């Protein structure tokens, strides 16, 4: 297991989603956000967002809350 990335507080209007997009750009991973305004460039993987937004067209595979708690077996 890898160590988690250090905590970096995001400040300013819209900054949390901008910071998430910056961190996920060009990587493969799971992004969870309240508003779908994070748009990571070149990212691959899965996204969960509470409210729709630009992330829906980013190429990440969108999952719902039911997908997150579904029985994998």
pLDDT computed for residue 32 by the predictor: 85
According to DSSP, residue 58 is labeled S
- Given pLDDT bands bounded at 50, 70 and 90, which one contains residue 2? confident
Overall pTM surpassing 0.75 (yes/no): no
Distance CA 48, CA 55 (A): 9
Percent of the chain with pLDDT over 70: 88
- Given pLDDT bands bounded at 50, 70 and 90, which one contains residue 38? confident
- Given pLDDT bands bounded at 50, 70 and 90, which one contains residue 62? very high
Question: Do 24 and 46 contact (CB within 8 A), yes or no?
Answer: no
């Amino acid at each position: 297991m890898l160590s988690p990335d250090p905590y970096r507080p995001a400040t300013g209007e819209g900054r949390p989603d901008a910071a998430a997009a910056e961190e996920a750009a060009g990587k493969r991973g799971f992004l969870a956000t309240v508003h779908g305004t994070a748009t990571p460039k070149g990212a691959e993987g899965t996204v969960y967002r509470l409210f729709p937004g630009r992330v829906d067209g980013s190429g990440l595979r969108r999952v719902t809350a039911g997908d997150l708690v579904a029985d994998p077996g």
